[in-house]
Amino acid sequence: MTTLLELKEKLIRFYGKNEIYIAPVLKFGLALTVFLIVNQNIGYMEKISSTSVALILALVCSVLPGIAMVTFAAAVILLDMYALSLEVCLVTLLLFLLVYAVYFRFAPKGHYSVILTPVCFHFHIPYIMPVGVGLLRETYSVFALLCGIVVYFFLNGVKQNSAALSDTAEETDGAVSKIVVVLNQLVGNKEMYLVLGIMIVTMVIVNIIRRLSIENAWIVAIITGTLVEAVGLISGYMILGISGKTVEVLVGSVIALLIAFVIQFFCFHLDYSRTERLQFEDDEYYYYVKAIPKVMVSGSEKKVKKFSGRDEEERLTKKRFAEEMDIDEELLD
């Protein structure tokens, strides 16, 4: 455990010193993943569905605020929908306008939740999103999670019905029929409503429990949320008659549990054995404070070296000393 704590402290210090370089690299990696997933699943417009275009867009997103990633992804999807069918593009545009209205009204800072939710669905690990958002974000972030889930199921439905929705489909289908098929991906998708309900409940439960003044609140929240989500989804799929989901939910829940514990280790690792309770007052109130220290490790033992010694190996030059102490050599003059 000590080794892990030391590694944690080193990673935190490294990120703090190099955040200006690491943050754009992480944003570039996420944006590239998003655009490649879009190209792979709904890349109906060949001119923009290439790796080179994805690289350029990801590079642009890496130096812009997070909302730019959401905007560029929405624009690429709309172009792909237009290449598939004008009717599909119009319905997608209306959906995105509704999503943006909800997003900017209730969760304007939840752009990464909106982006990560469809990405996690693509990799079959969406079960981490309600637990992770509940641990790290405020309660209103549930709206960002909602937007991400709706967008994923809508696009997945379009992908599954692309043959019937394309402009090359038989004329007997008609524009009205295409619109009905597209809207049915939202209105008649019982699985989407099941996932929405269970994940929203899970996120709220995790968010409430992790705020409680109890020992190991985050661990209790993680375990409770994962169990509620897994049991709720498996039961719901059985009621709806959707088969083949039990193993996926169980495996995904285990992965989500492990990821959640990693998040807890880096963000909320406390030493409950050293809990202190304080009481004080002022003219109007009594205050009862519960203080729990974070788990920390002391720095590695410093080796003292001499500037002069009998042996040449014991001597230390100013340059080497400055490098080891991480200071400017001119300060030693």
Of 230, 189, 224, nearest to 204 by C-alpha is: 224
Q: How do residues 218-231 score in pLDDT, each as one tens digit?
A: 899 999 999 999 99
Bridge partner residues of 290 (DSSP): 277
CA distances from 52 to 34, 36, 80, 290 (A): 14, 10, 16, 54
Tokens for 294, please give them: 């974070």
17-32 average pLDDT score: 91
Determine the Cα–Cα distance for residues 230 and 246; give it in Å rounded to an integer.
9
Determine the Cα–Cα distance for residues 322 and 310; give it in Å rounded to an integer.
22
Q: What is the pLDDT of residue 166?
A: 75
> In the chain, which ranges are E strands?
276-281, 286-291
Q: What is the pLDDT of residue 97?
A: 92
Q: What is the pLDDT of residue 233?
A: 96
Phi, psi of 162 (to 5 degrees): -60, -35
Rounded to the nearest 5 degrees, what angle is found at the Cα of 168, between the Cα atoms of 163 and 169? 55
The one-letter code for the residue type at 248 is E
Contact 202, 141 (CB under 8 A): no
Alpha carbon 226 to its chain centroid, in Å, reads 16
Q: What is the pLDDT of residue 87?
A: 87
The DSSP H or E segment spanning 225 is helix 217-240
Bridge partner residues of 286 (DSSP): 281
Q: How do residues 229-270 score in pLDDT, each as one tens digit?
A: 999 999 999 999 988 899 999 999 999 999 999 988 888 766
CA distances from 164 to 41, 170, 192, 203 (A): 16, 8, 21, 36
Phi, psi of 138 (to 5 degrees): -80, 170
Bridge partner residues of 279 (DSSP): 288
Neighbours of 211 (CB within 10 A): 13
* Continuous H helices in the chain: 2-42, 51-62, 66-84, 86-106, 111-122, 128-136, 142-160, 162-165, 174-187, 190-209, 217-240, 246-267, 318-325
Q: What is the pLDDT of residue 130?
A: 94
The one-letter code for the residue type at 241 is G
Q: What is the pLDDT of residue 295?
A: 67
Q: What is the pLDDT of residue 314?
A: 46
DSSP state for residue 327 in the 8-state scheme: -
Q: How do residues 117-164 score in pLDDT, each as one tens digit?
A: 999 999 999 999 999 999 988 888 899 999 999 999 999 988 888 877
Determine the Cα–Cα distance for residues 225 and 290; give it in Å rounded to an integer.
25
Determine the Cα–Cα distance for residues 119 and 163; give it in Å rounded to an integer.
24
List Cβ neighbours of 152 (8 Å cut-off, separation of 6 or more): 117, 118, 121, 126
Contact 115, 73 (CB under 8 A): yes
Q: How do residues 53-82 score in pLDDT, each as one tens digit?
A: 999 999 999 999 888 999 999 999 999 999
Indicate yes or no: pTM above 0.95. Answer: no
Q: What is the pLDDT of residue 323?
A: 66
Determine the Cα–Cα distance for residues 320 and 288; give it in Å rounded to an integer.
51
23-47 average pLDDT score: 92
Beta strand pairing call for 286-291 and 276-281: antiparallel
Determine the Cα–Cα distance for residues 333 and 329; give it in Å rounded to an integer.
8
Q: What is the pLDDT of residue 187?
A: 84
* C-alpha dihedral (196, 42, 107, 103), degrees to nearest 10: -100
Q: How do residues 281-324 score in pLDDT, each as one tens digit?
A: 787 788 777 776 766 665 554 555 555 544 444 445 666 666 66
Q: Domain residues of the chain, as ranges?
A: 2-270, 302-333
Rounded to the nearest 5 degrees, what angle is found at the Cα of 301, between the Cα atoms of 295 and 305? 160
- Weakest-pLDDT range from 97-106, 204-213, 274-283: 274-283
Determine the Cα–Cα distance for residues 29 and 243; give it in Å rounded to an integer.
34
Look at the chain and count its residues.
333
